[in-house]
Chain A
Amino acid sequence: MELDVETGLGGGEKTRFQRWLAVLVGIAAVAAALIATLEADADRREEHAFVRGSRLSLDIFEGIAGAAPRTSLQARGLEQAIALNVEATARLAESGGELVELRAALAAAESRASDRLIELVERMTAVPGAESGVDPHTREILASDPMVLTEVVLEQNEQVDAAERFGTRQDRAIFALSLVAITAVLLGLAGVMGEGRPGRVALVVAALALLAALGWGAAALPL
């Protein structure tokens, strides 16, 4: 008795069962390649969106933490200058007494010092320009604007949403690939069982699994 596995080589013309087996094997192979391509694309986009989201989170942290010291210093400097001016006004308000002339002189000096200090604080706490020697990245962080950061937060949220979307597509593609794998196993089983009833059942179930795989693969398409 000659050994002839249905999907194997050799033998004469093939039966309908064997032809269906071969067609399904071919379609399963192509489906696997197509779905794997979809899976790879979804995986790539998910990873990129995830990395963008993570890096934007760092941008937000950097913008908030990096811009605060400069503005805080500016506030402290102006506070100091205003306090000096208040002190000068208070001296003038103390009318009468032996030291009236001295108080007036001190008040005048402190008032002018207050004005000069405001100018200096503003200059010292200004965002450094390109000529300052500060690297561009640090300059960018020092100039961070809370309003711009709000836009960054929105973009970051969009990237996280995109990562989730692509993740769902990838999950569907992986499920479709699993169904293709089941199809391959069932086709192998049908080939071994031959044309009897069990073999035909395995073939039909394999065809259904392949159809389901194609459906899930279609669900993984970017729509």
Chain B
Amino acid sequence: MSDEDPRETPPEGVTPSEPEGTDTWVAILLAAAAVVAAGLGGRAALLSDRGSDTYTASIRQHAKQAAATVENIRYVYDDEAGLVLRATAAEVRADELREEARGARGLVRTALVEEARAQEQVAELISGASLAATAEYRLDDGGYDLAARLADVAGENPDLLAVDPDAPEEEAFELTGHAALAISATVPVSLAFMFGALSQAFRSRRRLFLYAGSAFLVAGLILGLVLEVVA
């Protein structure tokens, strides 16, 4: 450089420069800060990606669970229960007609018994065609146990019963939380970088800035490691 180059003439009032050997430490500090920041950023990206995938899994599982639950309910209470209702009505009518026949005589009694028998046949016919209106689900004092039928229908797919979409949602929230913390751990590392840059420009305070930068770098590194252990 020429003699007029201001870079070669220290400004007035500035203390003499630190030895050139400290340049190596500045370079190491800046490089280490960059590497740690990149590592933390990469780790955060991985955690965030896993969190997003887990969130998606949570929604998928919820949709699967909702579809299965609604379908089970619809099948029992819509498809099967119509016949169950008709069977129950026929049985109740048959019971009451027989009860009425006990107090009647002659043709009236015969007609009531015949009507009761017809209702019983209707109920039997339905029982033969329905999986819900069977003896297995018959209640002691009439009607059928639709809840037990629903439990059995749902139990045919135990995997769907075990679905818990809340668990992946909570896991995803934690993962993305750790990702955000990993990113926040780059703040002390960036301070280390800043002090590294300052130590290069303000050579009279180079050692002080180098120490501060190193301290922040170690703090960022420790924070990152702690997060790794916790995550």
Contact = CB atoms under 8 A, between A and B. Distances in A.
B142 interface: yes
Interface residues of A, number: 78
B144 A47 contact: no
Interface in A165-223: 195
B150 to A, nearest CB: 5
A124 B88 contact: yes
Contacts of B17: 12-13
A32 interface: yes
A4 interface: yes
B176 A14 contact: no
B156 interface: no
B104 A105 contact: yes
> Which of the four size classes fits the interface of chain B?
35 or more
B144 A124 contact: yes
B183 interface: yes
Interface in B182-230: 183-184, 186-187, 189-191, 193-195, 197-198, 200-204
Nearest to B109: A105
B66 interface: yes
Interface in A50-79: 51, 54-55, 58-59, 61-62, 65-66, 69-70, 72-73, 76-77
A10 B151 CA distance: 78
Nearest to A67: B73
Contacts of B88: 77, 117, 120-121, 124
B26 A9 contact: yes
Interface in B75-91: 76-78, 81-82, 84-86, 88-89
User: Which residue, of B17, B111, B200, has the highest number of chain A Cβ atoms within 10 A?
Assistant: B200
B200 A7 contact: yes
Given A19-B202, A22-B197, A62-B70, A138 B176 contact: no
Contacts of B201: 14, 18-19, 21-23
A25 B95 CA distance: 93
A69 B77 contact: yes
A109 B59 contact: no
Contacts of A70: 73, 77
Interface in A106-120: 106, 108-110, 112-113, 116-117, 120
A156 B52 CA distance: 20
Contact of A138 (B92, B150, B169, B198): B150
Contacts of B115: 106
Contacts of A76: 82, 85
Given A26-B193, A142-B73, A11 B108 contact: no
A97 to B, nearest CB: 13
Contact of A109 (B6, B96, B155): B96
Nearest to A42: B180
Contacts of A125: 77, 146
A48 interface: yes
Q: Which 9 A-B pairs have the closest CB atoms?
A: A26-B194, A22-B201, A69-B77, A128-B147, A133-B151, A33-B190, A13-B10, A120-B143, A132-B147
Given A80-B85, A128-B150, 11 more contacts: A7-B197, A11-B7, A14-B203, A29-B190, A30-B194, A40-B179, A43-B176, A48-B55, A121-B85, A121-B88, A132-B151
Interface of B: 1, 6-8, 10-11, 14, 17, 20, 23, 26-27, 37, 41, 44, 48, 51-52, 55, 58-59, 62-63, 65-66, 69-70, 72-74, 76-78, 81-82, 84-86, 88-89, 92-93, 95-97, 99-101, 104, 107-108, 111-112, 115, 139, 142-148, 150-152, 154-155, 161, 165, 169, 172-173, 176-177, 179-180, 183-184, 186-187, 189-191, 193-195, 197-198, 200-204
26 contacts: A4-B7, A11-B7, A15-B7, A19-B202, A26-B195, A27-B194, A30-B194, A32-B190, A33-B189, A37-B186, A44-B48, A55-B58, A55-B169, A58-B66, A62-B69, A70-B77, A72-B77, A73-B78, A101-B104, A102-B107, A109-B97, A109-B100, A112-B96, A132-B147, A132-B148, A137-B69
